[in-house]
Amino acid sequence: MTHRTGRHFLHIPGPSPVPERVLRAMDRQVIDHRGPDFGVLGREVLEGCRTIFRTKGPVVIYPGSGTGAWEAAIVNTLSSGDRVLMFETGHFATLWRQMAARWGIEVEFVPGDWRHGVDPALVEAKLAEDRSHSFKAVMVVHNETSTGVTSRIPAIRKAIDAAGHPALLLVDTISSLGSVDVRHDEWGVDVTVSGSQKGLMLPPGLGFTAISEKARAAGKSNNLPRSYWDWEEMLKPNANGYFPYTPATNLLYGLREAVAILLEEGLDNVFARHQRLAAATRAAVEAWGLEVLCLNPDEHSPVLTAVMMPDGKGADAFRALVLEKFDMSLGAGLSKLADKIFRIGHLGETNDLTLMGALSGVEMGLAAAGVPHRPGGVLAAMASLRSGLDG
Ligand SMILES: *Cc1c(COP(=O)(O)O)cnc(C)c1O
């Protein structure tokens, strides 16, 4: 392997780069997870999670990936044979649907074009039709990482209420939490699912569920079997900051630091920064004469931008060239978007200059790969960033 100078540009939409402070915080000896020091750490991170999820209720932290937390949301609330309403926003919604189906849940999967989020009017119409209240849950991916489209959860909540429907609302915020506003309590979400390696800027390895009282009550009478994922088993020792089995202690050191970083910047500032970087990225794409996959201006993702390749040009060859020439990883198109799009991650530990570096790599890569485009995307992004600065 040849030595590469400088740092690798990890611009995929998760895992995202881990801040130095978080790396340093994790670089510590493991401690006794039944000892007194652990209880202090456990209580701190559980409280920190409540702040980030904006909830007064419990947040469960699993050693596991986001996919595990998806499963926890299902097995703790639903029963085999239950009906649920889901929307085909992209690859991740499709995977979650498959998981629900494997648990014997009957999924009504509203088809989508992978370029729009969940239509709140459709949520209301589907639920209003369901007079017998056969849908037990509405399951939505907040930020569809495969497409760069962010669904409007508050509007979906309003739609459920307007239909007067008692369904639970389960929301995947795996790639939005810590980058995009997420309000578990205020938005009336019953289970908010998340993961460590995206907006929370941690390495992969933690899955989260924030749980409403209604969701917890549903778990008292549902019939899906569970052991590892059982909320009640977790919540008993969590009350004192402990876990029923060995927790991912070093990731929890990192989580404590990541929460501190987010709160130092201020969550609202964090969200505004993501919006600003996303707007600059879209300005670049537009100047290149390329097309952003997301079609609804109200649903552009602050976390990533998915860019369509002009006809006949493979996105994967382009990405391979960018990696080889500029040491930058861009996100691939997933399943039906394979080779048709590339995704630029602009989440987490990212600022104006890291974004400008990434966009420069994309623009140079487009030229090197012979992808038809206009130059000037980098200039347009700089102008966009400048217009957002005070004074
Ligand atoms: C990354 C991601 C997942 C999968 O999470 P893992 O940690 O890879 O299991 C699910 N949903 C969304 C929206 C994601 O971005």
pTM: 0.98
Ligand 1: distance of its center to the CA of 271 in Å?
20
| Residue to substitute in 174, 176, 191 for testing ligand 1 pocket (most ligand atoms within 8 angstroms of CB) | 174
Measured distance CA(106)–CA(84) in Å, rounded: 6
Q: What is the pLDDT of residues 172-199, one digit of tens each?
A: 999 999 999 999 999 999 999 999 999 9
pLDDT in the model for residue 311: 80
Scored b (16 or more CB within 10 A) or e, 12-47 reads: bbbbbbbbebbeebbeeeeeebeeeebeebbebbbe
Q: Say whether pLDDT at 361 is over 50.
A: yes
- Closest-CA residue to 203 (of 43, 23, 45, 24): 23
Q: What atom in ligand 1 is closest to the CA of residue 69? A: 9
For the CA of 204, the closest atom of ligand 1 is 7
Q: Which residues are annotated as a binding site for substrate?
A: 343
Q: What pLDDT, in 10s, does the model give residues 5-23? A: 999 999 999 999 999 999 9
Which residue, judged by its Cα, is nearest atom 2 of ligand 1?
174
Domains in the chain, start-ordered, CATH in brackets? 9-16+267-390 (3.90.1150.10), 20-263 (3.40.640.10)
Does the pLDDT of residue 81 top 90, yes or no? yes
| Tens of pLDDT, residues 333-342 | 999 999 999 9
How far does the centroid of ligand 1 lie from the alpha carbon of residue 287, in Å?
31
Using a 10 angstrom Cβ sphere, with 0-12 exposed, 13-18 middle and 19 or more buried, the burial of residue 237 is: middle
Among 50, 92, 102, 88, residue whose Cα is nearest residue 67? 92
- Which residues lie below 8 Å from residue 311, measured CB to CB, with a gap of 6+? none
Q: Report, as an integer, the average pLDDT of 334-360.
A: 98
CA-nearest residue for atom 5, ligand 1, is 66
Say how many CA atoms lie within 13 Å of 165 toward its Cβ: 28
- Dump pLDDT digits (tens) for 219-243: 999 999 999 999 999 999 999 999 9
Average model confidence (pLDDT) across the chain: 97
- Distance, CA 133 to ligand 1 centroid (Å)? 30
- Distance (angstroms) between ligand 1 centre and the Cα of 66 equals 5
Confidence of residue 28 (pLDDT cuts 50, 70, 90): very high
CA of 175 to the centre of ligand 1 (A): 7
Per-residue pLDDT of 36-79, as tens digits, reads: 999 999 999 999 999 999 999 999 999 999 999 999 999 999 99
* Ligand 1 atom nearest 143 alpha carbon: 13
Per-residue pLDDT, 391:
46
**Ligand 1 pocket list (CB less than 6 A):** 14, 65-67, 92, 141, 145, 172, 174-175, 195
